[in-house]
Amino acid sequence: MSIPATLIRGDGIGPEIIEATLRVLEAVGALFDWDEQTAGLGALESEGTPLPDCTVESFRQTRLALKGPLTTPVGTGFRSVNVLLRREFELYANVRPVKSMIPHQRYDDIDLVLVRENTEGLYVGFETTISVGGDPRAVAQSTAIVTRQGCERAVRFAFEYALANGRKKVTICHKANILRAASGLFLDVGREVADDYKGKVEVDDVIIDACAMKLVLDPWQFDIIVTTNMFGDILSDLMAGLVGGLGMAPGANIGDDAALFEAVHGSAPDIAGKGIANPTALILAACMMLDHVDEEENADRIRRALEGTIREGTHTTRDIGGNASTLEFADAVNRRLG
């Protein structure tokens, strides 16, 4: 029986890595009934908006989506489609795992997960400018919104994820020493939630700047990191750097009744259409999507084939040391799938 899902090919390299990912999903017999929609710069050009109503309605019906990277138009007054979708459907937990696959890297045996609160903080976009002395932009002001509910559900998600996936520790990352109200609330609520998991999951907390340093010096001391929206956005890129870059970094945006899966990286317009983009991040995101719909066996099959292809190194894309095209890489993964 096929599972209804929304498919957004995206901008830039999006269509290329989506095609590679669909080939891999087809090779394991994953049965999704795709409703293909558009968003981003392509939608702005064809529909006059980067997020058409039909795309929103499709996701509202399927509650499940695989999305290629989107370009946010600059200087047009449009906000990020990613941010809009996360807020519209209350996709409050952004899950970004990183795992070592590329051999001979500076860091080996990395296996970390970042859980990022996905709907609040500075990214709510409450901003204004103040005119002083004739300068209309003499002062810029951004307001971070952090709620007890938002903190609680993100942190609880991290602990439940730990239990479901055999993880041992959750680290609460904050800046409560300076941002006593907003980040202080996140830390206080995080500690309250942690009390419910005593004896089941270890917990500690760390200030954001110290966390960044420790991730570089000794990333193996971490397991799951849970943090606020902007801190999570920054740290997840740092963590991707530990395993070879954003081309290796998948992401899931999960709410109570909807989930959207994507690569962490952007649309990379500089290499779009050249057939050289690395589809690994999106393939791994599709694996997370399979996990979400209880197709763990197929997800694990793809992960093993993907890692084997990367470690062998004869059919990888340029960014991870090879000369294969996007689709040649996908075909090499499929050969391992048998």
Residues 232-243 pLDDT 10s: 999 999 999 999
pLDDT above 80 for 255: yes
pLDDT above 60 for 76: no
> Mean pLDDT, to the nearest integer, of 301-328?
96
> Mean pLDDT, to the nearest integer, of 300-308?
98
State whether 262 and 238 are in the same domain.
no
> Per the domain annotation, does 106 fall within a domain?
no
> Per the domain annotation, does 105 fall within a domain?
no
The predicted pLDDT at position 19 comes to 98
> Mean pLDDT, to the nearest integer, of 32-60?
94
Rounded Cα–Cα distance for residues 197 and 168 (Å): 11
pLDDT band at 83 (very low <50, low <70, confident <90, very high): confident
State whether 92 and 120 are in the same domain.
no
State whether 237 and 252 are in the same domain.
no
Rounded Cα–Cα distance for residues 55 and 42 (Å): 13
Residue closest to 268 by CA, chosen among 68, 91, 126? 68
Q: Which residues are catalytic?
A: 123, 175, 209, 233
DSSP symbols for 234-269: HHHHHHHHHTTSGGG-EEEEE-SS-EEEEESS---T
State whether 85 and 123 are in the same domain.
no
Q: Residues with Cβ < 8 Å from 159, sequence gap 6 or more?
A: 170, 193, 194, 196, 197, 201
Residue 273 sits in a domain of what CATH number?
3.40.718.10
Q: Residues with Cβ < 8 Å from 104, sequence gap 6 or more?
A: none
What single-letter DSSP state applies at residue 275?
S
> Per the domain annotation, does 287 fall within a domain?
yes
User: Cα separations (Å) of 218 from 115, 205, 224, 244, 288?
Assistant: 19, 16, 14, 16, 26
Rounded Cα–Cα distance for residues 228 and 151 (Å): 8
The structural domain count of the chain equals 2
pLDDT band at 78 (very low <50, low <70, confident <90, very high): low
Domain limit, last residue, from 242, 266, 292 = 242
Reported as a single tens digit per residue, the pLDDT across 175-225 is 999 999 999 999 999 999 999 999 999 999 999 999 999 999 999 999 999
pLDDT above 60 for 127: yes
Question: In the chain, what percentage of residues exceed pLDDT 90?
Answer: 89
Rounded Cα–Cα distance for residues 175 and 207 (Å): 5
Domain limit, last residue, from 217, 242, 267 = 242
Domain limit, last residue, from 185, 217, 242 = 242
pLDDT band at 1 (very low <50, low <70, confident <90, very high): confident
The predicted pLDDT at position 204 comes to 98
The predicted pLDDT at position 123 comes to 87
Average model confidence (pLDDT) for the chain? 95
Through-space distance between the first and last CA atoms of the chain, rounded to whole angstroms: 22
pLDDT band at 71 (very low <50, low <70, confident <90, very high): confident
Rounded Cα–Cα distance for residues 234 and 94 (Å): 13
Q: Residues with Cβ < 8 Å from 298, sequence gap 6 or more?
A: 28, 29, 30, 290
Domain residue limits at 173? 111-242
> Mean pLDDT, to the nearest integer, of 129-141?
94
